[in-house]
Structures are given as structure tokens and as C-alpha cells.
Amino acid sequence: MRRAVSLLAAASAAAMLLPSAAGAVTVGAPLGLGANVGESCQGLVIFGTPPGCTIFGVDSGGAWTSQTPPGNWTITTARVRTGPAVGPMVFTVLRVLRSQAGSPPSGAICCTAPVESQVFTPAPNTVNEVPVNLPVTNTVEDIEGEPVEVIDYLGISMLDLSSSLPLHRATSSGDPAVSSGLSYFIPQIRGGQQALQAGGLTELVPLVNGEYQPAPATPTAPGAAPPTTAVPPPTTIDPPPPFGLLPGGRLLPGGARARLGVNAPGAGLLRAFSPLAGRARASSVHAPGESRARRRGKRKGKRRKPRLLIPARRRIKQAGKAYITVKLTKAGKHRLGKRGKLRLPLRFVFKSDDGGVTRRNRHLTFRR
């Protein structure tokens, strides 16, 4: 595979909307290209064996995108052009959030999977059409007084390693894939789950598109379309875990503090901290010609690296949304001032009053 880059751009430029029947549009990549990548999800990683992966893409030149057009829509037909090997797959809707507050607006927060299709196994080396019922949106919502873009993308998930990835790789400078790329998740992200994007690759077209119909006034239950003889019945999607992180996060004035949200299952104690830890050996100066034994005796002990984030805690009294504020230490502020931005891993630990403990991880970027 080619080098990894960041490809995600919520609220990107105009999508390629192909007119269809009665107000419908086709959104996604052109499927006239051949699936010429014979690798499975294994080709996206260097070490380890992934259980599967999820991919979606955009074209930086604006020729096509998997981004939902503005408004509310329902995907009624989804398509994928397969390669020589196939296995179980699902079409996955990926939701990206971006706050419009501030100037310039903050970066995109990716991703959750609000809904997915039924599991299906397509035919190899051809375009497969699957009836689906996937509600999608591209809108701005008011979340606690903050305008937030909510934008859905159409992707596809390989559920094991038996499928070659439905991708077209650029073969020449004039190939349409030169300006295209994909984002990917390892392992696959399933309906109701949240995950961080694992990476991106250039000059690759994810061979997926869909038929978008304007959303009806009274939407039907999301997921699979009514089963036919060609499509297996929908599978049951496991509900999300009782404790979860809310997408996004809000940097407070100054850039050294952030407000983050969780969904709490009940009363308990919430802690947030950075798991960064380690030791660094202090340097010592040795005289010329000094013996090795004397140098060992003069060596200082190891010292801890400075803590960059002050641990935070909050008592939650009831189930529902709750927020916690984290802030940088003096050392963290100093590093932020030198670099302009500072990306830290965060760990959330929720201990409910009944004794249960849940942990979640994410990353947060502070900006000066």
C-alpha cells in the first residue's frame, strides 16, 4: 500500500451527484474502474493480523465523494465492485462531527457508525447491488449552544480476511485514482460503535456508491431493506456499551483546557488522565580518562518524565450525559507554547456506585 496521509475533510467541497429517478442521486465512486488490489485488510497493517477493516473515500479534485449531500436522505441501494476474493461484508454509515465555533473552526472528530446494512456476501469480480435502508444526514445541529456539523459518509466493512479489498489503485499519471484516497479503520467499526480513524492512503478509489433518496416524512426503521430472495435477512446489531464517550470535545479559551463528554450509565466516579508515563535517565558529565567503574558510581538515578496533564475527576449523580474538564500542567503548557499544538492520549475510568469499572481511551489535541 502507499504512504499514509490524513484524508478526512468534514464539510468538504461539492459532491459528485449523479441524477437518478424522481429526485434520487447517486453518491460515491465511479464503478467503471477495475478492482486491481488483491490484498485483504491485512495489507493495511504492518504488524499483527486484523479481524477485518472499514474503508471510505473522497476525491480531492471534487470528481466524487462518499459524503452525504446537504439535508436528510435514505440510501435505498448500495453498490460495491468486488475483486477476485469475497467474504462477508456490510455497508457502514460513518458519522463525522466538526464544531463551527471559533475562527477557524476546529478539526473534524471521526467517527461513529450510527447504522449499518445487513451482512451479505457478494459475487466476485462484478458490481453488486444490495437493497438497504440507511438514513443519512448532512446538517448543522445545536449541541448545548454550540453549532456542530453532523455529516455522514458511506463506507464498507470487510468482516474477515477472506475478501480482497474493493479498491482501484492508480496505474498511471492519468488514472482517475491519482487524486483519490481512502480512510480506514482497523478493526472494522460496526453499527453503534465509535472508533478513531487508523489512517489514510492516497491514489486509491474505494469502489462503493449508493442511491440516495430524499428522506420520507415518516422514516422507517433503519438497517436493511425488506429481504428478498437475493438478500439475506438483516442481522441484529449489538447495542453500544452502557458507558461511552461523546464525539468531539471543546477547547476552552487559551487552548490549555478542554471540556469532554461521556454517556454515564448511572451514578459513579469519573476520572480522566493521560496514561503517558516513563522514565528518562539524567545525564552526567565525566572527566576525560575517568574509569568505567567510577562513571557507574557517579551516574544519577532515573527521573520521571514531566506529567503533561493534570488528572481530573468528577462525581456523577445520575445516568445520562456528563462533562469533565481536563487541563495541562505547567510542563504541558510550556510544551504547547513551543509547538503550537500538543496531542495526548486520554484514558477515562468510570467506577459506578455498584462497583463496576469501565475504561475508554481516546486522543485529544490541544492548540495554542
pLDDT at 44 over 60: yes
Other C-beta atoms closer than 10 Å to the C-beta of 319 total 15
Spatial neighbors of 278 by CB under 8 A, at least 6 apart, are 304, 305
DSSP states of 52-81: -EEEEEEETTSS-B-BPPSEEEEEEEEEEE
- What digits encode the pLDDT tens for the residues 123-154? 999 999 999 999 999 999 987 788 889 999 99
Average pLDDT over residues 30-36: 94
Residue 182 and residue 204: Cα distance in Å, rounded? 6
| The pLDDT value given to residue 196 | 85
Residue 232 and residue 118: Cα distance in Å, rounded? 7
| The pLDDT value given to residue 297 | 58
pTM score, two decimals? 0.58
- What digits encode the pLDDT tens for the residues 199-236? 888 999 999 999 999 987 655 566 666 544 444 444 44
- What residues does each domain of the chain span? 18-236, 250-278+304-367
| The pLDDT value given to residue 20 | 53
In the CATH scheme, what is the code of domain 250-278+304-367?
A: 2.60.40.1940
Percent of the chain with pLDDT over 70: 78
What mean pLDDT is reported for the chain?
Answer: 82
**Residue that has been written with the C-alpha cell 495541562 in this structure:** 328
pLDDT at 164 over 90: yes
- What digits encode the pLDDT tens for the residues 70-101? 999 999 999 999 999 999 999 999 999 888 87
pLDDT at 4 over 60: no
